[in-house]
Structure 1
Amino acid sequence: MISREIGRDAGGLANVSRRGLVGGLGAGALVLALGLPRRSAAQGQAEKKFGAAGMPNGWRDDPRIFIAIAEDGTVTITCHRQEMGQGVRTSIAMVIADELEADWDRVRVVQADGDEPRYGNQDTDGSRSLRHFFVPLRRAGAGARVMLEQAAAARWGVPVAEVRATAHAVTHGPSGRSLGYGELARAASELPVPQPDAVRLKDPGQFRYIGREDVGLVDNQDITTGRAIYGIDARIDGMYYAVVARPPVYGGRVTSVDEAEALKVPGVVRVVRIDPPSIPSEFQPVGGIAVIARNTWAAMRGREALKITWEDGPNADYSSDTYRQKLQAAVRQPGKLVRSEGDLDRAMAGAAKRVEAEYYIPHLAQSPMEPPAALVRIQGGRCEAWACTQAPQVTRARLAQRLGLPEEAVTVHVTLLGGGFGRKSKPDFVIEAGLCSQAMDGAPVKLTWTREDDLSHGYYSTVSMERLEAGLDGNGRPVAWLHRSAAPTIAALFAPDPKHEMPIELGMGFINTPFAIPNIRMENPEAAAHVRVGWYRSVSNIPHAFAIQSFVAELAHAAGRDPKDYLLELIGPARTIDPTDLGDAWNHGEDPKLYPIDTGRLRRVIETAATGIGWGRPMPRGRGLGIAGHYSFVSYVAVAVEVEVGEGGAFSVPRVDIAVDCGPVVNPDRVRAQMEGAVVMGHGLATSAEISFKDGRAEQQNFDVYELTRIATTPREIRVHILPGGDYDRPLGGVGEPGLPPVAPAIANAIFAATGKRIRRLPIRDQINA
């Protein structure tokens, strides 16, 4: 197999090597490897400031994506990012296929194994897959197209300007001769990779797939017919099954275990102790006792039969009620100063009116439809894992480290993910499976987490207390703004007792609040972590957006103003803001020159959502409208909600209008689906979802008490408004995460409009009648 590698020179195409790179792609005649630019300057600065360990897993990018064209014309694209419902395998293929002029029905996608040296960074989070890859992917597809055109011209002995690739074939205009891609692939593979100036990108008006609504998911047939393989589906002949009894309190450990009754359960073959990690625990298993059996049911029954005495450790007294009081006390005192403009104390003292409020957001669990699951086999000094992981390269490294193997001896096969939301970025469950296989002399072991395991031993979204104070002038406009945010930080996974949020957390809708207020102070009081805090869809944008957008509505009421108009006035005129001027050196990992904060775009999504829902129309008794807008992951989203409150405080959401400006759109169907999913997920965290702790233990064990949005309570109508992205040369934004933050405050604001009841604590549950 002959290959070409397209490199990073000047961000374009360069002939780097001619060596066999790809196996398992079929009888490939032309194979290209795409190298993308390294991380942005902003990312490098952020790492220097607070260390790579403080970044989300593998936040650096240098990916390579392989394109193979076989002699039968089949185009195979290797996707190095993970598919968990966001459609990344389809969207990446759409971009390449469009510039390649490939027939969609002849394109297939295969999933890359975890291999950072080969594929570059593979971690899938931060809503960055398409925005980082769009232009280089276009160039890769166009480069392959040019090589096919050159091969055809050479065969016919005609100028290359007379030939054109279209619809999976190259045609000579003057003679009408045509050759399919398969017929040209081997000859094309012998040609040098074209230089950037020889590669023409399509005019967007020529796009066949990019921007179209009707391009189906490449996995759709397998998913809908049950042939798709998720982590929980992986099987190998002769494999065993395992579950783990884990310490009920984070940081606890086994004091003693009596395994006799467990071993009597038919099918149970072994009981294995997993040593607990030191704290900070990073992505290591929390320890406990694994039960290995011939089927999962036997393993679960064996676990129930274990007699374990636990030592609860340093977090045994962690209880949500008392911790909330600690957070409340923390935000009522000065904290670490993270942003200061003007003279807040003087402005506050001279204000005509002062308004203050505190907002509480509890821990949340990602609760993906598919709980964590992994299969591991160790043979001949090599380890193979099959796992539903968002971060295969981190999984590979940690698995090798824990098993005492060189990293190159570990292969991580990535399955489809039945949801992720950040939970599956952490490979503790894969390491558990590896330790079980090692205990069984390398025999394959599939380890499964139950829903109770998932909710009791996860990496939770942080709990947060937000305090805001504002001083208003005689016209009701804020002249002073104080915001204190206290929340345990994700950095506690990596460093002992950090207590303050990381710059990336502060940069999630807090420090970079783009309001036109002359006097601003933002502080970050201390907050210790007592559980594993991890990434959850949109991360710290959730508490920050809930507090800020709720408080803006409170200020509007205090000023006697319309909430939407007041919000737009606070944002101010359309302008661009360098986020570093606000103290945000992170900017969601992007170059602030390419991705400044654009208040004009934020204004437009708010206006679009408001227009969509009919803002200002007369509302009958018990109905109200609420609105919120937020900037996150370099995209702009606004949500307008209609709420209906009935007798006894029961409420429903008849309609939601959500507007998104994510720049140029590759796959509108997936943008729409992500926004709809964000509304449903945001409704759940606003109304019913909460993980609380008592004596160090999670009180919610399953969906009977950890209440997600059910079908009966889902907003009845969700309208998605995708703002035009303009020129496809503009940078793309993110889509997977930005839709979530404005949902909860919009619902809370609508409830106030309907009832006069102010919601400052999530979830809402029965607060309307409280």
Structure 2
Amino acid sequence: MKPLFTAVENVSRRDVLKLFGATGGGLALSASCLGWSPMLMAQGEDARLNMFIAIGEDDKVYLTCHRSEMGQGIRTGISQVLADELGADWNKVVVVQGLADKRYGSQNTDGSRSIRKGFDKMREMGAMARSMLEQAAANQWQVPVSELNTAHNVVMHVPSGKSSRFGELAVAASQLPVPSADTLIVKPAKNFTHIGQSHQIVDMQAILKGEAKYGYDIQLAGMLYASIIHPPVFGSEVNRLDDSDTRQVAGVIGVVRLPVPKGAPAFQPLGGVAVIATNSWSAIEGKKALKITWTGSVNDSHDSTVFLKQLIERVQAPGQMVKQHGEENTDWPKDSTMTATYTVPYLAHSPMEPPVAIASVTDKGCELWASSQTPQRAAQNVAGSLGIKEDRVKVNVTLLGGGFGRKSKPDYCAEAAILSQKMKAPIKVCWSREDDIQHGYLHAISAQFYQAKLGRDKMPQAMLQRTAFPSIESTFTQGAHYPADWELDLGFVDVPLAVNSLRCETVEAQAHTRIGWMRSVCNIQHGFGIGSFVDELAVKAKKPVTQMWRDLLGEVRKEKFVGQGFKYGNYGEELARHPVDIARYHGVIDAVELGMKKGHQLKDGQAWGFAVHRSFAAFVAMSLLVQVDKNNKLRVLRAVAAIDAGRVVNPDRVKSQVEGAIIFGLSLAMMGEVSFKEGKVQQSNFHDYPLLRITQCPDIEVIIIPSEASPGGVGEPGVPPVAPSLTNAIFAASGIRIRHLPVNQYLTV
């Protein structure tokens, strides 16, 4: 096989290593070594985009994270996997943020897929570097490479007592042929030193010292600031503009109309008017001074209360069949049939850091700095907005102050690029909290209908379920009024209930605003629906809800959904690698049941609620302990969660992600609601779209189920069971059955 570097390429490699901070030469590997898309070593600063592993003569190990860091700890997790196979000393690891580059493969940091999709490839990359270092040592010492091993940045030959630091072998290793992936031998799990261990996130000290760089922290010489007033109703545009008062505001230097999107919104800017100023305050004050009249829109009459009533009516009537397990049941006796309808309102992501992007457009192209979950998509979107080739857009990825899916939609990046091109200066587009809530991509409003025919034992013999919500596909395709198949895979058709007849249907729902994915996506409404209905079935049958779940899940098996009228997408994973395993459902149910029994004697008005859900190839059971007093004041006292996410890389991060999911889920379930009147969002900031306060947060226990299964998702699976476990607990404590979120419509929170 051709060596990784020719003589000419060695110059480039040395430049790359210097950019990383290494002294002298060394070893650098790119993803092309594993048969990924070709990755040529480039001259100068751009070369560092190509690196996954670089080892300098300074003995430091430079590991590239090609995903975005938004608090989930991925810069640490990916580095742990690489370092483990390499045998690196964690104290000598330097993490380098990869910029947007198609040659990395997908950089899309959503769907809880970074470790799930990258675990094996990262291990191979680490094993490749290790094998080259070991071969270099074997050549020097004239010993069999099979007698060598690595640990703590050292290659060792135990029989002779010889050892060399990585830095001493790096240059020699770089001259060797790159081993093919099929010859690599990865470590057995028993030899892991970093994988499975809790490591403090690599950015912790920078965060604690205030040195971490988020999107809002970026400053460029000559940079201007933009604040944008977007159309108040989706689909409207500027009719008349009077900016005379705005231009009198000190610091304002320009007013720019943004182009109006054509067709489906996708990730195009919404349009509106941007105020450009020398500082953010002037831009905001200038925006307030604009006088605008807007054109009409087909969405002018959208009222979320009326629309939700329509969705509730529609799910009561027959819809389009998407799944049929067993023979269709047509006999629904009134005295033995249970029905319930559950609803979830529009919801906003509300990350602590609103969307922000800085663009500098010159004759050479565009350089972007953005808190983006999808830098490749940002590059593509910016290129399309500017009418230039994608390879002329460079995207620098900052730390993200939260994302939850909002920052994988790069409309704000395009806004910055368009304005920079117009003003011929670097532009920072700053979305406010009001912009974020009123003009973002919302989680869809929805209604879910469940019906069960009960036998004499009060167990379901047949079930029917329908779902209605504006599809995310409407954001990309005009006229998409039914959910996409992949949306139905998220907690609707994929719950493996072992009933004789199970039918799933969808009904029509038109979008009146931009709809987008949010943390756990359609599992939010589907998890609430099925988690609540199973509890109602358990109450009817007079058995613990945990036992009802076991009974409904049926015999231990790996469900394949054969012959049910749909092809299950399984979050993009093969069922053989990530099966829908009933035994793993039982495992998390059992663990939470034990956790509920520990350490709390129930008082009057207190009760536990339970739910379990599989999403993103992970299994989560959740139980919340609540207290409802005589004045209908709700307190959430304790949460016990168990997660089986397969093999875990960093237990501390898994625990924190589940904790965060509980807090996120409680915010949505207790208080989350975006409403529309006359086409306009009624909420604007945290005073009317509140997030959970620390005094509302329960004590949280997270149980991680040990597993050797392939890694599953972690960031999103903890959200779906939160809402049903909360409302189920409220019913058990007070007798109040809440089927329509948020909870604060009924109780004081």
Structure 1 residue 110 displacement after superposition: 1.1
Out of 394, 412, 419, the residue aligned to residue 429 of structure 1 is 412
Q: Does structure 2 retain, via aligned residues, the 8 Å contact 1:284–1:431?
A: yes
What TM-score, normalized by structure 1, do the two folds share?
Answer: 0.91
1:660 aligns with 2:643: yes
Which one-letter code corresponds to 2:715 in the other structure? G
**Structure 2: which amino acid aligns with 1:29?**
G
- 1:271 is aligned to 255
Residue 735 of structure 2 corresponds to: 756
Deviation at 1:156, TM superposition (A): 2.3
Q: How does 1:282-293 map to 2 (within 5 A)?
A: 282-293=266-277
DSSP 3-state at the match of 1:389? coil
Give the whole-Å Cα distance in 2 for the aligned partners of 1:289 and 1:766: 36
* Counterpart in the other structure of 1:403: 386
| Gap runs ≥5 in structure 1 | 6-16, 40-62
Aligned partners of 1:448, 1:527: CA distance in 2, in Å?
33
Q: 1:18 to 1:495 in 2, by over 3 A?
A: farther
Structure 1's 197 and 439: CA in aligned 2 closer, same or farther, altered over 3 A?
Answer: closer
* 1:689-768 alignment, distance < 5 Å: 689-715=672-698, 717-726=699-708, 730-768=709-747
Correspondences of 1:184-333 after superposition (within 5 Å)? 184-196=169-181, 198-213=183-198, 215-333=199-317
Q: Which letter does structure 2 place at the counterpart of 1:532? A: R
Q: Which residue of 2 aligns with 1:548?
A: 530
Does the 8 Å CA contact 1:66/1:78 hold for their aligned counterparts?
yes
Q: 1:492 aligns to what?
A: 474
Matched with 1:477 is: 459
Q: 8 Å contact 1:347–1:479 — kept in the other structure?
A: no
Provide the alpha-carbon RMSD of the alignment: 2.1
Deviation at 1:620, TM superposition (A): 2.6
3-state SS of the aligned residue for 2:391?
helix
Structure 1 position 162, deviation (Å): 3.6
In the TM superposition, what are the counterparts of 1:51-70 in structure 2 within 5 Å? 66-70=52-56
Measured against aligned partners, the alpha-carbon deviations of 1:230-280 in whole angstroms (never above 9, x if no partner) come to 111111111101110100111110001011110000000000000110231
* Counterpart mapping for 1:434-449 below 5 A: 434-441=417-424, 443-449=425-431
Partner of 2:602: 619
Give, in whole Å, the separation in 2 of the partners of 1:769 and 1:356: 27
Q: Residue 474 of structure 1 aligns to a residue in which SS?
A: coil
Q: Deviations over 1:64-90 (max 9, x none)?
A: 762100110111111111111111110
Verify: 1:172 aligned to 2:157, yes or no.
yes
Matched residue, 1:55: none
After superposing the two structures, state which structure 1 stretch, 266-275 or 163-172, moved more.
163-172
Contact residue 4 and residue 176 of structure 2 kept, 8 A: no
- 8 Å contact 1:268–1:298 — kept in the other structure? yes
Answering whether residue 108 of structure 2 is matched by residue 111 of structure 1, we say no
Relative to structure 1, the CA distance from residue 66 to residue 546 in structure 2 (aligned partners, 3 Å threshold; closer, same or farther) is same
Q: Which residue among 114, 135, 153 is the counterpart of 1:129?
A: 114
Q: Report the CA distance between 1:558 and its aligned residue.
A: 1.6
| Residue in structure 2 matched with residue 418 of structure 1 by the alignment | 401
**Aligned pair in 2 of structure 1 residues 73, 617: CA closer, same or farther (>3 Å)?**
closer
Please report how far the alpha carbon of residue 406 of structure 1 lies from its aligned counterpart in structure 2 after TM superposition: 1.2
Match of 2:30 in 1: 33
Query: Residue in 1 aligned with 2:137?
Result: 152
Which among 61, 65, 68 is matched to residue 82 of structure 1? 68
Deviation at 1:146, TM superposition (A): 1.3
Hey, what's the Cα distance between the residues in 2 that align with 1:752 and 1:134? Answer: 42
1:522 partner SS: strand
What is the DSSP-based 3-state SS (H/G/I as helix, E as strand, rest coil) of the residue aligned with 1:348?
Answer: coil
Task: Give the 3-state SS of the residue equivalent to 2:631 in structure 1.
Answer: helix
- Partner in structure 2 of residue 600 of structure 1: 583
CA gap of 1:723–1:410, structure 2 versus 1, over 3 A, is same
SS in 2 for 1:4: coil
Unaligned runs of 5+ in 2: 38-48
Under a length normalisation based on structure 2, what TM-score does the superposition of the two structures give? 0.94
Paired residues of 1:509 and 1:631 also in contact (CA < 8 A):
yes
Q: In 2, Cα distance between the equivalents of 1:769 and 1:245? A: 35
- The alpha carbon displacement at 1:560 in A equals 2.1
Residue 768 of structure 1 and its aligned partner are, at CA, apart by 4.3
Does the C-alpha gap of structure 1 residues 695 and 547 become closer, same or farther in structure 2, counting only changes over 3 Å? same
Contact kept, 8 Å, 1:464 with 1:487, in 2: the verdict is yes
Report which stretch shifted further, 29-38 or 293-302: 29-38
Q: Partner residue of 2:4?
A: 4
TM-fit CA distance, 1:289: 0.3
User: Which residue identity does 1:267 align to in structure 2?
Assistant: G
* 91, 98, 103: which one aligns with 2:77: 91
Secondary structure at the aligned position of 2:250 is classed as: coil
SS across alignment from 1:315: coil
Q: Is the 8 A contact 2:241 2:290 kept in 1?
A: yes
- Does structure 2 conserve the Cα–Cα contact (< 8 Å) formed by 1:251 and 1:279? no
Matched AA of 2:473? A
- The residue type paired with residue 4 of structure 1 is L
SS in structure 1 of the partner of residue 550 of structure 2: helix
* 1:286 aligned partner, one-letter code: L
**Equivalenced residues, count:** 727
Residue by residue over 1:728-761, the C-alpha shift from the partner in whole angstroms, topping out at 9 and shown as x without a partner, is xx32111011000000000000000001110101
Task: Report the 3-state secondary structure (helix = DSSP H, G, I; strand = E; otherwise coil) of the residue aligned with 2:589.
Answer: helix
Distance 1:568 1:38 in 2: 43
Question: What is the alpha-carbon distance in structure 1 between the residues aligned to residue 342 and residue 647 of structure 2?
Answer: 35
TM superposition shift of 1:575: 0.7
The structural deviation recorded for 1:132 is: 1.2
Distance 1:64 1:137, change over 3 A: farther
| Alpha-carbon spacing, 1:88–1:218, altered in 2? closer, same or farther (3 Å) | same
Q: Which letter maps to 1:365? A: A
Question: In the aligned structure 1, how far is the partner of 2:445 from the partner of 2:435?
Answer: 20
1:453 counterpart = 2:435: yes
The one-letter code of the counterpart of 1:506 is L
User: What is the CA–CA distance in structure 2 between the aligned matches of 1:545 and 1:749, rounded to whole Å?
Assistant: 13
CA contact (8 A) 2:416 2:429 kept: yes
Provide the C-alpha distance between the structure 2 equivalents of 1:89 and 1:158, rounded to a whole number of angstroms.
36
Deviation, structure 1 residue 176: 2.1
Paired residue type of 1:470: A
Shift, 1:200, TM fit = 2.7
Of 512, 521, 524, which aligns to 2:494?
512
Deviations 1:113-167 (A, max 9, x none): 1111x22211111111101111221121111111111111212233323433221
Report the AA paired with residue 181 of structure 1.
F
SS in 2 for 1:648: coil
Asked if 2 retains the 8 angstrom alpha-carbon contact of 1:683 and 1:744, the reply is yes
Deviation at 1:345, TM superposition (A): 3.3
Shift of 1:467: 0.8
Distance between the aligned counterparts of 1:132 and 1:439, measured in 2?
40
SS at match of 1:765: helix
Query: Is the Cα–Cα contact under 8 Å of residues 670 and 741 in structure 2 kept in the other structure?
Result: yes
CA contact (8 A) 1:344 1:481 kept: no
> Closer, same or farther in 2 for the Cα pair 1:494/1:18, shift >3 Å?
farther
- Give the secondary-structure state (helix, strand or coil) at the position aligned to 2:274: strand
